[in-house]
Chains A and B, each alone.
Chain A
Amino acid sequence: MNAHSDTAHHEGKNYLNHERGLWSWLTTTDHKRIGLLYLYSILTFFLAGGVFALLMRTELARAGADIIQNPEVYNVYFTLHGVLMIFMFIVPGIPATMGNFLLPLMIGAKDVAFPRLNLFSWYIYVIGAVMAGFALIHPPDTGWTFYAPYSIKSGSSVVLMTAAAFVLGFSSILTGLNFIVTIHKLRAPGMTWFRLPVFVWGTYATAVIQTLATPVVGMTLVLLLMERVMGVGVFNPDLGGDPVLFEHLFWFYSHPVVYIMVLPAFGVIGEIIPVFSRKPLFGYKAVVFASVAIAGVSFIVWAHHMFVAGISDTAAKVFSILTFGVAIPTAVKVFNWVSTMYKGSITFATPMLYAIAFVFLFMIAGTTGIYLATLATDVFYHDTYFVVAHFHYTIQGGAVIGLIAALHFWFPKMSGKMYNETLAKIAFVLVVVGFNLTFLPQFVLGMEGMPRRYYDYPPEFQTLHTISTIGAFINGIGYTWALLNLAFAALFGKVKAPANPFNSLSLEWQTSSPPPHENFHTVPEVTDYPYAYGRPLSYENH
């Protein structure tokens, strides 16, 4: 592992071309390639989930039945949109793609701790996806939450779909476990805990939630299966079961899961803002502890999804107060990002634009979250479009924008090419304008009383719904444009990326672009944390 593996041997060789052919990809244990396998998979499901979203928005463009004559079909559409987007796109979204690709590079390791387990996780994910595909024969209509008792009675293939979600969860558990061990055991010499990039900290906090929360929903879904197949009477009220227990157990995972989606995105933003502000990340330790605190608090707020489900007043008050607690570490992060930019030498490159959009959108998401955490207002807003809009501001405005920012920022490292900056910026405008046009009206619709999950509405909601639909299409065009721009650059791009086009100080930029199979030609020695900026930016003249 020494002299011969340096320079001459590696000339022109990188992780993309050191082996060739489909088989070399399907059997790879290289974390970078597995990251790309995940990326192609999740983007496929992002597209599919997006199509269902647009079908729903098309139906909702005008009052009355338009393209969907049967309301049951609409139930299927929002269920599939939810299942695809949650379980198959955004939960593995950043951790399994960017996390896989970046984590070992960022800590100066050659791979994750268990490379074969890593590949196995991807195969489990694919098996789960195939099972979900077979469930489409009788597409489920329960919503992605599978609430009992309807999920026990629904004639659709709930069994197969929940089994698929269980399998997908298992994949998520193994990825999280792999990352925790990797961060604990494989850091390069000198890479102390407080020299870890904040993305690694975000991924670590995420991995803890993946490992500890996912088994709970896994078992809950198995109990639901047992209920349907054998009638054991755990959730079925006819057999003495308690459907509210299902909600408790489901949200014990499914609330933390929104932090699985968004914590890595926080990490991404924490990487991008210092680089393009040329300033050290403000309050590094505060940002780190905020990530860990969010992961911790996420486990004790689940019942805020159930304020109107018949839980006791005392429980509701406690969960309401605890939920307010989430605002503190989240605000710490926002203030730190903004303070990082303060008096910085800011370059508005595409990743930075997405990062700034993230801060704005997530602030709206967080602020509207306060409305929903407050008991009195939640009774009013519950199950309205206000919730839909709030949720999409956190998950799309947060996690998806974070993923797109990450894809642009690390694209030169992943592909070895540069993308077209102008086209990327146009896509950015489409995404952000389209997104706000879609979901800002939905806040108003919710306040006016539009319930979620209805395929029709009274004529007075017409205008806002039409605006929302137009926004959704602009949003969809924006994402397609952004991703096609990247795909085009990766396949046909002429501009080769230098090792460190954005002058970042973190380790993944210190190796060549794309990185060699073993990540680093020599094991790096780490002497400082990765945000000691203050030098002029050479990005413009790369």
Chain B
Amino acid sequence: MSHASAQPLKGPPHIHHMDSVTAYHAAKLGMWLFLATEILLFAVLFTAFAIYRWYNLEEFHAGSHHLNWILGMTNTAVLLFSSFTAALAVDAGQKGNNKAVVKLVGVTIACGAIFLIIKYFEYSSKYHHGYFPGQANYLEFKNFLGLYYCMTGLHALHVIIGMGLLTWVLLKAKKDRFSHDYYTPVEIGALYWHLVDLIWIYLFPLLYLVG
């Protein structure tokens, strides 16, 4: 960092213990491993979902009718589109087109925000109708709703973390940091975002459609 002022900001940062190609591959492998841990985190919830659905098929069936599949579908479309813009951002990063990275990552973050806003309306409607834990109607669909809140809540948390990660990428792009030699943050940020999208792709049919 000490010689950053003497050089233009483009190009990979100086890392004292490996060359920049190794650093790129190391960062990518690290992110893939981290994604594996994320999948295992959600695997617990998917396992619990499978088991309790087996125990209480009718409750799960009835419970899923209380979710608004149109809002869920809209959110699915929003996230799919955001994954597309994230992928385009990686392409722009590889070409060193920092302006495009700023725009595309910005759109991706905005999609994340739209997703959360829609989710907020879904949750608050559940609350007003008394379907929150501890409320009157909760016990009717307790296993289904309990898992619904845990799964979508944890996913929403991941959307927020992903938005934070992408904001970091966006700030770097604003400083014109990326070039075809160095676009690691865009790539690992997008990888993370794709996972957030991918998990939703499984959550949506399981919770809203299959029942």
Contacts and interface: CB of A to CB of B under 8 A. Distances in A.
Interface of A: 1, 109-111, 113-115, 117, 173, 177-178, 180-181, 184-186, 211-216, 218-220, 222-223, 226, 230-234, 239-242, 245, 249, 518
A230 B37 contact: no
B57 interface: no
Contact of A114 (B30, B37, B52): B30
Contact of B36 (A185, A212, A234): A212
B44 A111 contact: no
B40 A212 contact: yes
5 contacts: A226-B149, A233-B146, A234-B147, A242-B52, A245-B48
Given A113-B30, A180-B33, A184-B29, A215 B149 contact: no
Contacts of B26: 113-114, 181, 184-186
B34 interface: yes
Given A223-B48, A249-B47, A215 B150 contact: no
A234 B150 contact: yes
Contacts of B47: 249
Contacts of B34: 177
Contacts of A234: 48, 52, 143, 146-147, 150
B38 interface: yes
B63 to A, nearest CB: 12
B17 interface: yes
Across chains A and B, which 5 residue pairs bring their CB atoms closest together, nearest first? Answer: A232-B146, A110-B17, A219-B44, A215-B40, A215-B41
A173 B45 CA distance: 19
Give the interface centre of A212, A230, A232, A239 by most chain B CB atoms within 10 Å: A232
Interface of B: 16-18, 22, 25-26, 29-30, 33-34, 36-38, 40-45, 47-48, 51-52, 55-56, 133-134, 139, 142-143, 145-147, 149-150, 154
Nearest to B34: A177
Contacts of A213: 40
Contacts of B42: 219
B36 A216 contact: no
Contacts of A226: 146, 149-150
Contacts of A185: 18, 22, 25-26, 29
A181 B37 contact: no
Given A177-B30, A230-B134, A240 B56 contact: yes
Contacts of A212: 36-37, 40
A110 B16 contact: yes
A220 B44 contact: yes
Contacts of A241: 143
B44 A216 contact: yes
Per DSSP, chain A at the interface is helix
A181 B150 CA distance: 31
Contacts of B37: 173, 177, 211-212, 214-215
Contacts of A223: 44-45, 48, 150
A291 to B, nearest CB: 19
Contacts of B142: 232-233, 239-240
A218 B149 contact: no
Contacts of A249: 44, 47-48
Given A181-B29, A231-B133, A245-B48, A215 B146 contact: no
A212 B14 CA distance: 31
Contacts of A178: 30
A108 to B, nearest CB: 11
B111 to A, nearest CB: 26
B143 A233 contact: yes
Contacts of B146: 226, 232-234, 239
Contacts of B145: 232
Given A212-B36, A233-B142, 19 more contacts: A185-B22, A185-B25, A186-B18, A213-B40, A214-B37, A215-B43, A216-B41, A223-B48, A230-B134, A232-B149, A232-B150, A234-B147, A239-B142, A239-B143, A240-B55, A240-B143, A245-B51, A249-B44, A249-B48
Nearest to A210: B37
B202 to A, nearest CB: 15
A520 B22 CA distance: 19
Nearest to B143: A240
B17 A219 contact: no
Contacts of B154: 219, 222
Given A114-B26, A216-B44, A109 B143 contact: no
A234 B40 CA distance: 18
A175 B36 CA distance: 15
Nearest to B41: A215
Given A173-B37, A185-B25, A233-B146, A216 B43 contact: yes
B17 A211 contact: no
Contacts of A114: 26, 30
A520 B34 CA distance: 30
A212 B150 CA distance: 21
Given A216-B44, A230-B134, A234-B146, A242 B51 contact: yes
A222 B143 CA distance: 16
A214 B143 CA distance: 25
Given A111-B17, A185-B26, A242-B51, A215 B38 contact: yes
Contacts of B147: 232, 234
B134 A219 contact: no
A242 B37 CA distance: 25
Contacts of A173: 37
B129 to A, nearest CB: 17
A28 B142 CA distance: 49
Contacts of B17: 109-111, 115, 186, 518
B59 to A, nearest CB: 8
A213 B38 CA distance: 11
A263 to B, nearest CB: 18
A211 B30 CA distance: 11
Nearest to A227: B146
Contacts of A242: 51-52, 55
Contacts of A240: 52, 55-56, 142-143
Contacts of B51: 242, 245
Nearest to A212: B40
A185 B37 CA distance: 20
Nearest to B44: A219
